[in-house]
Amino acid sequence: MKPFIEIAGVSGTVYRFQWVSGPSRLPATAGNFIFFRSAPDGDEIVCCGTARSLVLAATAWERARDQYGAASIYVRLNVSRAIRSAEHQDIAARQAPMVTITELD
C-alpha cells in the first residue's frame, strides 16, 4: 500500500489521505475515511465517509470488506465537522463511491 494517496474533489481540490493497516489501527480523532478495493483498471473507492472518531469507521469497514471486497483503509484527520463534511461532499461528488456515510457519531 502507498503510505499516502491524493484524492480530487469535484472542485478540483486535492485531499491527502494516509494509509491505515487495519481497523484496529484507526485513530480516535475525527476525520474522513475512504475504503478501496482492487479493480482491473486500478483501485476504486468503495466507500467514503466522515466520523467524529475514526474508530467508529471499523464497523463500516467490516461491511465494505464483506459486501464489496474493500481491501485498504485511508484516513484524513479533520477535527472541524464543517470542514470534514464539506470535503466529504466534494470528494463524493467527484468520485461517486458505492457507499457514502455522512457522519458516524
Q: Which residues contact 96 (CB under 8 A, 6 or more apart)?
A: none
Domains of the chain, CATH where assigned? 4-104 (3.40.1440)
pLDDT at 1 (0 to 100) = 83
Full-model pTM: 0.96
Provide the pLDDT confidence category of residue 42 given band limits of 50, 70 and 90: confident
Chain segment 87-96, per-residue pLDDT in tens: 999 999 999 9
Nearest to 36 by CA among 11, 53, 17: 17
**How do residues 51-79 score in pLDDT, each as one tens digit?**
999 999 999 999 999 999 999 999 999 99
Q: Which pLDDT score, from 0 to 100, does residue 14 have? A: 98
Per the prediction, the chain carries an average pLDDT of 96
**Contacts with 5 (C-beta within 8 Å, 6 or more apart), sequence order:** 16, 17, 19, 74
